[in-house]
Amino acid sequence: MSVVCELAAPFVANSAVDGREVSSPFRSHTSTCLKCQARHAAMSRTARELAAMHDQRLPAPADLEWRVLSSLEGDLEVARTWRKPIALSAAVLSMAAAIIIWRLRPRTS
Ligand SMILES: [Zn+2]
């Protein structure tokens, strides 16, 4: 792909979705560039397929929410929300172990 192809890509995408020719600044390039023509054809096909699916209702996968949330980074990431429960559980377990060890200690008196 050349730089011209990359510059023309948004215009190719828009024309493919709208079903019209590529805008004039890149029309001459896309008329001779096989890569841009292939991109236009692929995007046109995708746009037609999406348009044909406009009235279909497909159920979301059951784990969609988990997959989306687990892929987030930053303040919304799931791992951060689990830090408090894990730290609290570890503190409770270590306190319980300390009490058990204290109760089972050998007495010398
Ligand atoms: Zn091109």
Gap from CA of 1 to ligand 1 centroid (Å): 7
Q: Which two tokens stand for residue 66?
A: 């988990």
Cα of 16 vs centre of ligand 1, distance in Å, is 14
pLDDT at 81: 60
What is the 44 CA–ligand 1 centroid distance (Å)? 16
In this prediction, residue 96 carries a pLDDT of 95
Q: How far is the CA of 83 from the centre of ligand 1 (A)?
A: 50
pLDDT tens per residue across span 76-91: 666 556 667 877 888 9
Given a cut of 70, the residues of the chain with pLDDT beneath it are 75-83, 109
Can you state the angle between helices 78-103 and 64-71, rounded to 10 degrees?
90
User: Which residue shows structure tokens 């109760």?
Assistant: 103
Contact 15, 40 (CB under 8 A): yes
